[in-house]
Amino acid sequence: MNETNRRGALAAAALATGMAAAATSAEAGTKKHAHNLAEQVDALASRAAIEEVLLDYARGNDHADEEMIRSCFWPESAHKHGGYEGTSMDFVDFAMKILVKLKYCEHRITNISVRVDGDRGFSECYYLAHHRRDNKAGTGEEDAFFEGRYIDILERRDGVWKIIHRRGMSDWNSPVFPAESPYSELPAGTHALRSKDDPYYKMLALFEAGS
């Protein structure tokens, strides 16, 4: 092989090596991008699922739906809120004694912040609660308002997100306001119901049936 041919062969070999290295690098970059994209999609889907858990907790309170409230927590979930500290399941027992006596209840969930690390999640949200109840004297009804936060650690098991540890903060309570008239005097069919007779459940059933 003469000098010219030898140099040409070396150049061709170097070019082939460089192209192979570039192809390998590009493939690795593509895999890394796909991996990162999958993680981002999973994080977004997880955030949406966690937000639904927080909203279901509020909805369950508003309609005194014990089954829905319990569905937000894993059976061994730990719970601390106000003067209560124990399991989340026992907290639901405690809360239901209050909820079933209310004439009306509304929880608004805002400022939702979620972090996801694999099958573990961390969230903080703010709540504003409105309770309509009988006054202590039994002479009428009253309105009370509460503000606070829910700080939660969640776990995903078999694709399902639930709370494993909740810290409820009671940041503010309003003075009590006497109600001008009983909640039951609102026109029928125009207000929330404290049961599964509420339009939410009926409309959801229609949606799930494809109607």
At residue 63, does pLDDT exceed 90?
A: yes
Residue pair 165/120 in contact (Cβ under 8 Å)? The answer is: no
How far, in Å, CA of 135 to CA of 88, rounded?
28
- Residue 126's domain comprises 36-208
54 lies in a domain? yes
Listing DSSP states for 71-124 in one string gives TTEEEEEEEEETTEEEEHHHHHHHHHHHHTT-SEEEEEEEEEEEEEETTEEEEE
Residue pair 120/154 in contact (Cβ under 8 Å)? The answer is: yes
Q: Please write the tens of the pLDDT for every residue from 116-153.
A: 999 999 999 999 999 999 999 999 999 999 999 999 99
When pLDDT is cut at 50, 70 and 90, the band that residue 211 belongs to is confident
18 lies in a domain? no
Q: Dihedral sign, CA of 177, 182, 185, 189? A: positive
177 lies in a domain? yes
25 lies in a domain? no
How far does CA 202 lie from the centroid of its chain?
Answer: 23
2 lies in a domain? no
Q: Is-above-0.85 flag for pTM?
A: no
111 lies in a domain? yes
85 lies in a domain? yes
Cα–Cα nearest to 106, from 125, 127, 126, 121 = 127
103 lies in a domain? yes
How far does CA 185 lie from the centroid of its chain?
Answer: 34
Parallel, antiparallel, or unpaired: how do β-strands 73-81 and 160-173 relate? parallel
Provide the CATH number for the domain around residue 110: 3.10.450.50
Name the domain count of the chain: 1
Residue pair 156/119 in contact (Cβ under 8 Å)? The answer is: yes
Q: Please write the tens of the pLDDT for every residue from 72-120.
A: 999 999 999 989 999 999 999 999 999 999 999 999 999 999 999 999 9
